[in-house]
């Protein structure tokens, strides 16, 4: 997911930044920390730490990008998807500056895939789980896989649009990016889902019954 510094054309990097910026601003404004309980602040910190730790596990993938767990499920479920754009932005800035993971010029594209597309998929599966009354473990696995695939499908689109195939265009390029991502991301997503279930079950019951806002 982390598209490397300077890898996208300037116009593409700027366009993704413009698309991601409103969501980040909206997310930041929703975090009225002065009115948030200490318990909820701890959840926020834990979600940010979970996101940072998992996305820092880097596996080489498509040229100019990488595969890794997304870590977006706990934050989305515990606190709601509205907190995820700003959390993703903060985590990605620190990783770009401290770990040379991702980049500042590609920050908008990476925030869009990790902080917007992925959480949207997680939230959708969460609502589906509630409607179907699936067990928590099943819902978490489905949500993790859906969030991971949505994140990487978005990254594949970003790369395909930036680097269309000379013969088959964006469609052909997208198919190749998706195929290469799938090789690494399918097992990574499944392993992440199992880890997420373990972490979820280790949380106190009062945390696991909070309604995402």
- Every domain of the chain and the residues it spans: 10-208
pLDDT at 127: 85
66 φ/ψ angles, rounded to the nearest 5 degrees: -155, 160
pLDDT at 44: 85
Task: Give residues with Cβ within 8 angstroms of 100, minimum separation 6.
Answer: 5
Low-confidence ranges of the chain (pLDDT < 70): 1, 32-37, 59-66, 206-213
CATH number for region 10-208: 1.10.1760.20
pTM exceeds 0.85: yes
Length of the chain measured in residues: 213
pLDDT at 87: 94
Q: What is the rounded distance in angstroms from the CA atom of residue 106 to the CA atom of residue 103?
A: 5
Cα 107 off chain centre by: 13
pLDDT at 211: 45
């Amino acid at each position: 997911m982390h598209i490397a510094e300077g890898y996208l054309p300037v116009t593409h990097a700027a366009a993704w930044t413009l698309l991601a910026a409103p969501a980040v601003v909206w997310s930041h404004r929703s975090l009225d920390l002065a009115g948030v309980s200490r318990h909820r602040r701890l959840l926020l910190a834990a979600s940010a730490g979970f996101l940072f730790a998992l996305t820092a596990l880097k596996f080489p993938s498509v040229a100019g990008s990488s595969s890794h767990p997304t870590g977006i499920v706990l934050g989305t479920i515990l606190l709601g998807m509205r907190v995820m754009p700003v959390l993703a932005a903060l985590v990605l800035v620190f990783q770009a500056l401290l770990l040379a993971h991702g980049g500042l010029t590609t920050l908008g594209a990476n925030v869009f895939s990790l902080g917007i597309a992925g959480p949207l998929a997680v939230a959708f599966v969460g609502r589906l789980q509630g409607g179907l009354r699936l067990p928590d473990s099943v819902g978490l696995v489905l949500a993790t896989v859906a969030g991971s695939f949505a994140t990487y499908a978005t990254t594949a689109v970003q790369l395909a649009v930036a680097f269309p195939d000379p013969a088959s265009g964006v469609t052909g390029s997208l198919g190749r990016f998706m195929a290469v991502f799938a090789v690494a991301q399918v097992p990574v997503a499944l392993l992440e889902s199992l880890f997420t279930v373990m972490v979820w079950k280790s949380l106190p019951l009062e945390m696991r019954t909070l309604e995402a806002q």
